[in-house]
Amino acid sequence: MGFFDMKFSKNLFDGFVLEKASTEHRQTRPLAVVNVFSYKTKGSGPAIKLRFEASPTVSDIKDGYPRSFHQFSIFLDQGLSQSTPPEKLNKLFIPLPAGRLLKPMMVAWLLCTSQAFAGDCKENCILTNRSQDQSCALDKTPLTRCGNFSSYMAEDSKLNAQYRSLVKKLNSADAAALRTTQRAWLQWRLDKCDEADEASGCDNGVCAGVAHDACIIAVTRDRTLDFVQFSNDPANAARTNFSFSHKDNARTSSQAGSADQFELLLAAFAALDKELLPASDASMAVELNVSPPAETGLPAGVSPSAIQDLRLRTEYMAALDANQKRAKIASQQRQLRDSENTSENALAILAAKATPQQLKNMGQSLQRSQLTAQRKARLTALLAKAARP
């Protein structure tokens, strides 16, 4: 989804006055530039600070209000009302549909933010997809997920070194042709890996970006091997119809494609295993109706306002909040299990089409992976089933 320029509705800020505005840069995904607007309520109401994170830039302020934004998030330092605990208002997300003014009714509260990209990223690990209408130079495009940043930099350094070495060996005409094809390859890499990300069927959550990042690393590694092959034996490379074009390269054959897809699936399973909880985790049980403290004598599901005793009401509200958090975790786990089933089905289809040698290679790659023993056993069984006549 791209970004849309939107006019801001002043009604959203009724009751607030601008206290301070500043700009800072952060490396949070997918937001690169942060504009900080501190507001306080008019009159004697509680103070509140709103931090707007927008990408890539935010327009000027007019009459104390932001005029237009790209897609952004608002983080609240304090709660908006006494009825909702402040810690539950840690993030406010405002969607921006194209072609109409933003209205207060479009505000959606997110009671608990996703932890898929939790933690500060010390390095510039934001690879902007083409779907975000942003572009970066090759040396400025590390991966979406910080965990793969070092892997990308290592492969990219190898590719650049091999590329520079090869350019020196070619005559001027061939070197110019290589530069042209390399630029085309870089665009192809973006297109291919965007498609891989879309094909993974993961729009958000823990697996978002995994296929994209794994694809970037895999095709970059293959491109380096292509250059090595040509540098070591250009005559033999020519005889085997080697070409710098990605379309003619033998590495994009169905056999190589199967290996790439299998590696992407392994990356997806690794990400899932980091987030999946044991299916039998009793501590995550969600109650349909939470019972208040027995001393109240009230039925389950009663409104907290019906409890006059402050201590008992506080205890009950804490139980409600804990149950709500468990419900959110349970919902996330269901989505992860759905992703797990989808990935296993994709693996079964891939294995069913594979040759005996491809299945053998998949099995060896699986055993070399860092997946858990339980996951390896499960996937090994899937491959064994596909190998049966």
Q: What is the pLDDT along the chain (389 residues), one digit of tens a residue?
A: 222 222 333 344 444 455 555 544 443 333 333 444 454 544 544 444 444 444 333 344 444 444 443 333 333 333 333 333 333 323 333 333 322 222 222 222 222 222 222 333 333 344 433 333 233 333 333 344 445 567 777 888 899 998 888 888 777 777 777 787 788 788 888 888 877 777 766 655 445 566 777 788 888 888 888 788 777 766 555 444 455 544 333 333 344 456 667 877 787 788 788 888 877 666 678 888 899 999 999 999 899 999 999 999 999 999 998 888 888 888 888 888 887 888 888 888 888 888 888 888 889 889 988 888 999 999 999 898 887 76
Q: What does the DSSP 8-state code read for residue 53?
A: E
The CA distance from 327 to 321, in Å, is: 10
Q: Would you call 187 helix, strand, or coil by DSSP?
A: helix
Distances (CA, A) of 138 to 141, 142, 148, 166, 183: 5, 8, 16, 18, 10
**Which secondary structure element, helix H or strand E, spans residue 68, and what is its range?**
strand 68-69
Q: What are the residues whose beta carbons fall under 8 Å from the beta carbon of 130, sequence distance 6 or more? A: 190, 191, 194
Return the pLDDT at 276: 82
Q: Which CATH number fits domain 130-232: 1.10.30, 1.20.1270, 1.10.287, 1.10.3470?
A: 1.20.1270
180-199 exposure pattern, b = at least 16 Cβ within 10 A, e = fewer: eebeebeebbbebbbebbee
Burial 286-304 (b: 16+ CB within 10 A, else e): eeeebebeeebebeeeeee
Where exactly are the structural domains of the chain?
A: 6-109, 130-232, 275-387
Q: 43 in helix, strand or coil?
A: coil
- 37: buried, middle or exposed (CB in 10 Å: 19+, 13-18, 0-12)? buried
For the chain, percent helix, then strand, then coil, each to nearest 5? 50, 10, 35
User: Given this model, what pLDDT does residue 108 score?
Assistant: 23
Structure tokens, 311: 């201590």
Measured between alpha carbons, how far is 337 from 276 in angstroms, rounded to an integer? 8
Cα angle 185, 214, 222; round to 5: 45
Backbone angles phi, psi at 49, to 5 degrees: -120, 130
Q: What is the dihedral of CA 50, 76, 29, 195, to 10 degrees?
A: -100
Please enumerate in sequence order all residues whose Cβ is within 8 A of that of 153, keeping only pairs 6 or more positions apart, or say none: 142
Strand partners, 23: 35
- Give the H or E element holding residue 267: helix 254-275
Say how far apart CA 205 and CA 199 lie, in whole Å.
15
With 0.75 as the threshold, say if the pTM is over it.
no
What 3-state class would DSSP assign to 16? strand
